[in-house]
Structure 1
């Protein structure tokens, strides 16, 4: 009796020990995930978007491993944001759509709003400006009755983004309406915690006044942006320096502009900010030196700018390769899981069939009449299979018809210069953009759209008519593309593009 009691006591102690170890291990993993998320946010603030993506992906893998839906969603948000910053809107949209369909996100309105904010940015990059505007305004409806601080922070950003879109369209009066509303929301925030976003808002407001030629008001808001950063002893103030430099360069006060530009450059270096998004700073410095007559330094900074642009092109290609590999890895993992499930079902099916035929065999031995019945059932099954094969044939024919319909639909969108043309084109030909970027990573969206028109078989006159551009403009842009792709003079560009898409992998020899 005593021995039995000791055995049960030791078993209970062992169970408690194992449970505590499991709990402790999970807590350590949560801390590691949170550490990754914090580090990725830091990389974002320093514009190191590739590192932001890499670290967020680590957090995402760990979160999926332990099944933490909240951290899965949070890491997905950072991944989609990093992909957007790396100029991969399609891949970013893929993560966003997947996240918006998750139950955790559907229950969290703030997270939905943040995903939709990136979605709007991706649409804008893809020149789908109408869809971008609709997405931003849908966020306003989503958070309409929200009065909490987190919602106010998002609403302030959204109103600023809408204002910026009106600014880009030179609708300054409309822009000011949204800038003022954004200011009301910023007024509800804790100034210290939101000072970075507010400082960016002041710069945007200053730019709007500058566009109206109200330079005094513009300078007033540029100064407010700088004062806010220094008020909270924020050392990263290169954007404010660049803004002052631009202001004084426009005023033709080149010595003052140069001083601010050089301060911005020093601030970027001092705090290890990724200069890639701000390489135009080197070009501005070169222009100012040119205006001051210092040809040696003008040449120096022009070379720095040019070399950096080449480096950016190479890095962009590497970033795209890495980002795309993440998408591929996710698809492969999903495929492997699906394959495992398929093999399990096959095994279950085989076992079931073996048992079924064993049962049939046993019955057949007992009763010949039962055998005839089973034969009739098998015959019926064969008829069903023939019907299924016939149905599959019809479905295949319908699918071919749909492909033809998709081609005709894309052509109609192209002829109507529809803003949805290029996004629909990529749905029909999903590998088109990726393969062209392998040849020339620096292609702009407008160049990719021209390639799409050419791929569909439209000639220069057609493209000029449909896009409301002159024939010479279209001819020159196509000639530039031929040079970028190194297409021989005697080869038809449309045929070349179709051959590229038809190739399974690799570039043309």
Structure 2
């Protein structure tokens, strides 16, 4: 062999070794990357960083963070991580008023979630659906999504995540219930939320607002506002939670008739909402400012603030209407998909169904006359019974509204088992207490009971509290549900 050829072989041999060594390094590096990826660490870090940037209102870096994590999740084929990033981006979009993009990312998350069995992610998805429906004014849909979120969250074994999301779902449900004029139920969910997170800014501020609007206990409102303020750390950066606290402080001083202090807090709230691009909250801040200028007898400034309120409200309504249309379209698409799936099943089992239909047809044909007669009799009886029930219920409601003395007697005739069952629990209940229980069973609100029985709203609350003790009803169970179950 020539020396040149020998040298060439050595070089080739050496290069082959280097190539193999390089492949090994790449393989080991890839293997290390795969083994070092930890889903739990991915989730906890993403949630922690997202929450920190969200509170600062740093939406640009917040989107960038979630897109980076989305790439990591996709590279590692971590479906749960992909879904979490989609939901986070949806939340960011909805927060700054881009409801269309928010719904779009929720739709992506929902499609991915069909292949994943995660109760936590389902709860989070429905939470975001509920929050988005709330801000665009679809309160009934929001409550339905919220109920689904609570169902999935309570059935999960991941206690840390359940606690992290639970108080948010409770707070969201309370806000929806306020819009539905169910203040007592809303207050119960606020208390539930506070048990989970007693120092949370959102819940303490909502509790303060409850006392300002409904109980008029200004001292209690101030206590909750102070708790909320303590949680907000002043880092010199914008804090998105501050806006709601400032606005509620403004309401507090407005109730005290200290309008100048109220105005300063309303302006702080507006400044915070503008800096954090909280479009949903801006019209309300302008309205509060306008009302305060009215009390300060400054008509020009009031008119200016009122004009800004109208402009912002129109802009927000345009965005909301577009989101509502998209939301309705999505619901219709879901129905279409369900219908398509049903049609496929019919096609697959068509031959079996045809045979069954033929058999059923023959049976029906032989008994057609008797079946029609029975059906007509049943329909007639059902309509008669339904008419009687509706008439009886309307009669009871009218008697209650008139505060008629025969209300309880007539109620016992229509619901003969109700009062005896209550007396089994507590035999010392008087007629007035039984009548009060009857009104709750008929789903009268505290406000309506106060109006029709000529007592104060506060007295109704006290009566409910005493009834809970006498009937041993847990504080977290609604009286209406308890009585309805009887």
TM-score by length of 1: 0.49
Q: Which of 14, 17, 29 is equivalent to 1:6?
A: 14
Partner of residue 193, structure 2: 182
CA distance in 2 between counterparts of 1:49 and 1:99 reads 24
- Flag the 1:224–1:14 CA change in 2: closer, same or farther, 3 A: closer
Q: Which of 179, 182, 187 is equivalent to 1:171?
A: 182
Stretch moving more, 111-120 or 200-209: 111-120
> Helix, strand or coil: the match of 2:173?
helix
CA distance in 1 between counterparts of 2:187 and 2:316 reads 35
Partner of residue 353, structure 2: none
The answer to whether residue 207 in structure 2 is matched with residue 199 in structure 1 is no
> Helix, strand or coil: the match of 2:277?
coil
Question: Displacement of 1:244 after TM fit?
Answer: 0.9
CA distance in 2 between counterparts of 1:141 and 1:216 reads 36
Partner of residue 217, structure 1: 220
Question: Displacement of 1:241 after TM fit?
Answer: 1.5
CA distance in 2 between counterparts of 1:41 and 1:183 reads 19
Instruction: List aligned pairs for 1:258-273, cutoff 5 A.
Output: 258-266=263-271, 272-273=275-276
- Flag the 1:52–1:277 CA change in 2: closer, same or farther, 3 A: farther
Contact 2:56 2:237 in 1 (8 A): no
Partner of residue 156, structure 1: 167
Contact 2:280 2:316 in 1 (8 A): no
Partner of residue 97, structure 1: 110
Instruction: List aligned pairs for 1:241-256, cutoff 5 A.
Output: 241-256=246-261
Contact 1:159 1:182 in 2 (8 A): yes
Partner of residue 292, structure 1: 296
Partner of residue 245, structure 2: 240
Query: Which whole-Å deviations, capped at 9, do the CAs of 1:68-111 have from their partners, x for residues lacking one?
Result: 434312211113324544333753552342132133xx2x3322
Question: Displacement of 1:218 after TM fit?
Answer: 2.2
Unaligned runs of 5+ in 2: 1-5, 331-349, 351-486
Question: Displacement of 1:118 after TM fit?
Answer: 1.3
Question: Displacement of 1:172 after TM fit?
Answer: 2.5
Partner of residue 87, structure 1: 99
> Helix, strand or coil: the match of 2:181?
coil
- Flag the 1:219–1:110 CA change in 2: closer, same or farther, 3 A: same
The answer to whether residue 232 in structure 2 is matched with residue 229 in structure 1 is yes
> Helix, strand or coil: the match of 2:110?
helix
Query: Which whole-Å deviations, capped at 9, do the CAs of 1:468-493 have from their partners, x for residues lacking one?
Result: xxxxxxxxxxxxxxxxxxxxxxxxxx
Instruction: List aligned pairs for 1:32-111, cutoff 5 A.
Output: 44-45=54-55, 56=66, 60=70, 63-64=73-74, 67-85=77-95, 86-88=98-100, 91=104, 93-103=106-116, 106=117, 108-111=118-121
Contact 1:222 1:240 in 2 (8 A): yes
Query: Which whole-Å deviations, capped at 9, do the CAs of 1:369-405 have from their partners, x for residues lacking one?
Result: xxxxxxxxxxxxxxxxxxxxxx9xxxxxxxxxxxxxx
Stretch moving more, 144-153 or 69-78: 144-153
> Helix, strand or coil: the match of 2:216?
coil
CA distance in 2 between counterparts of 1:149 and 1:65 reads 26
Partner of residue 338, structure 1: none
Query: Which whole-Å deviations, capped at 9, do the CAs of 1:205-226 have from their partners, x for residues lacking one?
Result: 1222222333332232122212
Partner of residue 23, structure 2: 15
> Helix, strand or coil: the match of 2:120?
helix
CA distance in 2 between counterparts of 1:36 and 1:185 reads 22
Question: Displacement of 1:290 after TM fit?
Answer: 3.0
Contact 2:273 2:279 in 1 (8 A): no
TM-score by length of 2: 0.51
> Helix, strand or coil: the match of 2:232?
helix
> Helix, strand or coil: the match of 1:225?
helix
CA distance in 2 between counterparts of 1:161 and 1:310 reads 25
The answer to whether residue 147 in structure 2 is matched with residue 137 in structure 1 is yes
- Flag the 1:122–1:61 CA change in 2: closer, same or farther, 3 A: same
Query: Which whole-Å deviations, capped at 9, do the CAs of 1:116-148 have from their partners, x for residues lacking one?
Result: 211333454676655543443344343436473
> Helix, strand or coil: the match of 2:202?
helix
CA distance in 2 between counterparts of 1:32 and 1:163 reads 31
Contact 2:66 2:88 in 1 (8 A): yes
Task: Select the structure with the greater relative contact order (CA < 8 A; seq sep ≥ 6).
Answer: 2
CA distance in 1 between counterparts of 2:278 and 2:177 reads 28
Instruction: List aligned pairs for 1:237-386, cutoff 5 A.
Output: 237-266=242-271, 272-280=275-283, 281-302=285-306, 304-305=308-309, 308=312, 316=319
Task: Say what the alpha-carbon RMSD is for the aligned residues.
Answer: 4.7
CA distance in 1 between counterparts of 2:142 and 2:208 reads 24
> Helix, strand or coil: the match of 1:276?
coil
Contact 2:290 2:306 in 1 (8 A): yes
- Flag the 1:23–1:33 CA change in 2: closer, same or farther, 3 A: farther
Contact 1:109 1:142 in 2 (8 A): yes
- Flag the 1:141–1:299 CA change in 2: closer, same or farther, 3 A: closer
